Amino acid sequence: MANLKAAGADTQETITVAITGASGAQYGLRLLQCLLAADKRVFVMISRAAQVVISTETDLKLPGTPSEQTSYLSQLYDAKPNQLTVFGREQWMAPVASGSGAPSKMVVCPCSTGSLSSIATGASNNLIERAADVALKERRQLILVPREAPYSEIHLEHMLKLTRMGVVIIPASPGFYNRPTTIEDMVDFVVARILNQLNIEQNLLPKWGEDLI
């Protein structure tokens, strides 16, 4: 007989975070840090292009394999044991690859226009694309944070198509009404928007009308 106690014991919410190769790796890394600080369990995927962007845009020395990346990021963000797991690009047996195992919330941050296209067309050629396809087929929460300028008609069509399917598009475009003075302030503006959508308490940015000015 199924062990009902064990099945119900793990009440910690899990969120999938995919970091792809658009500029703005900081957004994805800060999101990861905030989710861990909020005591969420996080399944992470980092595309090959994202690894290039991370080494271009940050001082991180991200190692090559998913298990090394798990240890590196867990240590960097002071994660609890098993709170953070990185999955590889063809790790098809990972929970995110199936509707029966995938968490109910997924964020692609930042989202390259390449991954945007693959998600909009259901390509599923790597684990990030497959996990997003699972989120779509299961009607789960999927948030994409694209960054490109300018957008082509193709990009905009993909965003419209996905929005009509219930996907939330949060462009990586920080506002200025909070008077940011550092890059971290600008990153936090976007990350706060993502956390709001995930319904996770955040104090990165006051709500509109509260202590803003």
Ligand X SMILES: Cc1cc2nc3c(=O)[nH]c(=O)nc-3n(C[C@H](O)[C@H](O)[C@H](O)COP(=O)(O)O)c2cc1C
- Binding site members for dimethylallyl phosphate: 177, 193
H-run or E-run covering 14: strand 14-19
- Confirm or reject binding of residue 65 to ligand X (CB under 6 A): no
- Confirm or reject binding of residue 50 to ligand X (CB under 6 A): yes
**Residue number, nearest CB to ligand X:** 21
Q: Which has the closest alpha carbon to 105: 52, 158, 144?
A: 144
- Confirm or reject binding of residue 112 to ligand X (CB under 6 A): yes
H-run or E-run covering 157: helix 153-164
How many other C-beta atoms lie within 10 A of the C-beta of residue 130?
24
- Confirm or reject binding of residue 142 to ligand X (CB under 6 A): no
**Residue closer to ligand X, measured from CB, 49 or 76:** 49
- Confirm or reject binding of residue 26 to ligand X (CB under 6 A): no
C-alpha to C-alpha distances, 204 to 35, 182, 194, nearest whole angstrom: 12, 13, 11
Q: State which of residues 15, 17, 22, 32 lies at the interface with ligand X (CB under 6 A).
A: 22
Cis peptide before 110 (omega within 30 of 0): yes
- How far is 36 from 82, CA to CA, in rounded Å? 11
State in angstroms the smallest separation of the CB of 127 from ligand X: 11
- Confirm or reject binding of residue 117 to ligand X (CB under 6 A): no
State in angstroms the smallest separation of the CB of 115 from ligand X: 3
State in angstroms the smallest separation of the CB of 102 from ligand X: 19
- How far is 192 from 125, CA to CA, in rounded Å? 30
**Residue closer to ligand X, measured from CB, 79 or 189:** 189
Contact 86, 120 (CB under 8 A): no
Q: State which of residues 14, 16, 26, 47 lies at the interface with ligand X (CB under 6 A).
A: 47
- Confirm or reject binding of residue 53 to ligand X (CB under 6 A): yes
Q: Which has the closest alpha carbon to 175: 188, 192, 189, 191?
A: 189
- Confirm or reject binding of residue 14 to ligand X (CB under 6 A): no
**Residue closer to ligand X, measured from CB, 28 or 103:** 28
- How far is 197 from 134, CA to CA, in rounded Å? 19
Site string for ligand X, 76-105 (x = CB under 6 A): ------------------------------
Contacts of 90 (CB under 8 A, 6+ apart): 126, 127
Binding region for ligand X (CB under 6 A): 20-23, 47, 49-50, 52-53, 56, 112-115, 147-148
